[in-house]
């Protein structure tokens, strides 16, 4: 019987699972459930990986974004953010009291459209939330940095998809004033749910530590800002710390899988592979293609499921098409619509077999490239 091919599975090596089990048993036996040695080791190791002074663990990337945006005091100010992202890249701006201003992508890639971004800067603009969608870093990184410098804007990276991505050998997470990572189940590494802030800013690091524990100011011994229990507990820190040992293998495997798809799909006329510039080494968070405008994506998704037992899906709906953001101005976002609404993510995860990839490739060739 033909087996279903899912879109995604998380990967933990056998050794990692054994270590996690033993380590969690110690957490429970020693009753160390928060801010123990695993939190400390995880933050040190993560900061070292990204090459920054501070890594502050929190319970999700959405929390990380909200904390950073609050630090930048964005109340009633405008923040530029791509509409081509996950909903909480935009909603975290509203959680922190700011006004999201949606920016378009390029015509045929996931890159933020810097021309559109420049046009949308006003005296009310306070910063840019820069999303590395699917782990693709915008090749115009220097231009973006210069624009932020010129206008006095902060640059916050949403690196939820970009653990392991690099541009000119610099990792995502050290490219702006701060960055936020996600450890949600589908991400490159996961501890169930979790997030991390990376920064070289001592003040922001202290602020984040205060916010993640009810606003408690350790030095002064009092509470002088609102906060919540937003910390990452010791059990999840243990999972993540151990999972970091699999990172190199996971990234290498994802690259191998991506290269294999590309080898067999690059000459297709009715799809276009969403690639990065040569200066960028992506995390390969997902493998996505663009369908020709005449192809009905919903039909493709249905047929792949029913006829081939293969799960495929679009990247995200553009944020400005989500009802929750109907109050936002949605001007000049046509490239975002064209790219996201014609995008198709193929099954992609560490451990996908060549036989499964061949089934996906052959379904694309017979159903999309050469339909009868
Ligand atoms: C680009 C992006 N930013 C932020 C988030 C939020 O991450 P979390 O679920 O850890 O809050 C996600 C989640 O999928 C995402 O894809």
CB 163 within 8 A of CB 187: yes
Give yes or no for residue 217 having a pLDDT over 80: yes
Q: Cα(332) to centroid of ligand 1, in Å? A: 24
Q: Which residue has the tokens 């009310």?
A: 124
The pLDDT of residue 93 is: 98
* DSSP assignment of 86-117: -HHHHHHHHHTT-EEEEE-B-SSSSSB-HHHH
pLDDT digits (tens, 9 = 90+) for 253-289: 999 999 999 999 999 999 999 999 999 999 999 999 9
The pLDDT of residue 242 is: 98
Q: Cα(352) to centroid of ligand 1, in Å? A: 23
Q: Cα(68) to centroid of ligand 1, in Å? A: 14
Q: Cα(30) to centroid of ligand 1, in Å? A: 32
Q: Cα(190) to centroid of ligand 1, in Å? A: 12
Mutation pick for ligand 1 pocket among 110, 163, 182, 193 (CB with most ligand atoms within 8 Å): 182
* DSSP assignment of 347-368: P--TT--HHHHHHHHHHHIIII
Mutation pick for ligand 1 pocket among 88, 236, 285 (CB with most ligand atoms within 8 Å): 88
251 exposure class (CB count in 10 Å sphere: 0-12, 13-18, 19+)? buried
Confidence of residue 12 (pLDDT cuts 50, 70, 90): very high
Report all structural domains of the chain as residue ranges with CATH numbers, in order of start: 14-246 (3.40.640.10), 247-369 (3.90.1150.10)
pLDDT digits (tens, 9 = 90+) for 302-351: 999 999 999 999 999 999 999 999 999 888 899 999 999 999 999 999 99
The pLDDT of residue 218 is: 87
The pLDDT of residue 244 is: 98
The pLDDT of residue 331 is: 82
CA–CA separation, 112 and 171 (whole Å): 18
pLDDT digits (tens, 9 = 90+) for 137-188: 999 999 999 999 999 999 999 999 999 999 999 999 999 999 999 999 999 9
Rounded to the nearest integer, the mean pLDDT of the chain is 97
Ligand 1: residues whose CB is within 6 Å? 60-62, 85-86, 88-89, 131, 158, 160-161, 182, 184, 195
Mutation pick for ligand 1 pocket among 160, 193, 232, 285 (CB with most ligand atoms within 8 Å): 160
Average pLDDT, stretch 86-98?
A: 98
Distances (CA, A) of 121 to 151, 182, 184: 8, 28, 32
- Dmax over CA atoms of the chain, in Å, equals 73
The pLDDT of residue 310 is: 98
Give me 165's structure tokens.
């991505």
């Amino acid at each position: 019987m033909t087996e279903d091919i899912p879109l995604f599975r998380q990967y933990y090596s056998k050794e990692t699972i054994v270590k996690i089990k033993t380590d969690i048993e110690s957490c429970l036996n020693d009753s160390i459930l928060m801010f123990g040695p695993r939190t400390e080791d995880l933050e040190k190791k993560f900061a070292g990986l990204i090459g920054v002074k501070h890594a502050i663990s929190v319970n999700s990337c959405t929390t990380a974004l909200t904390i950073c945006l609050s630090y930048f005091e964005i109340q009633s100010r405008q923040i530029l953010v791509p509409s081509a992202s996950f909903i909480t890249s935009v909603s975290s701006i509203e959680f922190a009291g700011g006004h999201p201003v949606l920016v378009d992508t390029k015509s045929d890639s996931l890159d933020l459209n810097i021309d559109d971004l420049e046009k949308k800067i006003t005296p009310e603009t306070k910063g840019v939330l820069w999303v590395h969608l699917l782990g693709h870093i915008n090749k115009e990184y220097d231009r973006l940095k210069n624009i932020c410098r010129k206008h006095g804007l902060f640059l916050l990276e949403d690196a939820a998809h970009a653990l392991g991505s690099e541009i000119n050998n610099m990792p995502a997470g050290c490219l702006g004033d701060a960055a936020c990572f996600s450890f949600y189940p589908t991400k490159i590494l996961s501890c169930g749910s979790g997030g991390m802030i990376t920064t070289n800013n001592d003040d922001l690091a202290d602020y984040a530590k205060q916010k993640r524990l009810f606003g408690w100011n350790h030095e002064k011994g009092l509470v002088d800002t609102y906060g919540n229990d937003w910390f990452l507990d010791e059990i999840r820190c243990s999972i993540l710390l151990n999972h970091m040992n699999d990172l190199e293998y996971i990234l290498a495997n994802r690259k191998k899988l991506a290269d294999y798809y590309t080898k067999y799909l690059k000459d297709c006329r009715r799809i276009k592979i969403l690639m990065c510039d040569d200066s960028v080494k992506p995390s390969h968070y997902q493998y996505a293609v663009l369908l020709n405008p005449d192809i009905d994506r919903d039909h493709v998704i249905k047929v792949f499921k029913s006829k081939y037992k293969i799960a495929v899906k679009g990247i995200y709906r553009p944020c400005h098409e989500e009802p929750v953001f109907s109050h936002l101005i949605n001007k000049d976002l046509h490239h975002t619509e064209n790219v996201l609404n014609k995008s198709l993510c193929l099954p992609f995860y560490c451990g996908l077999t060549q036989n499964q990839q061949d089934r996906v490739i052959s379904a694309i060739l017979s159903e999309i490239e050469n339909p009868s």
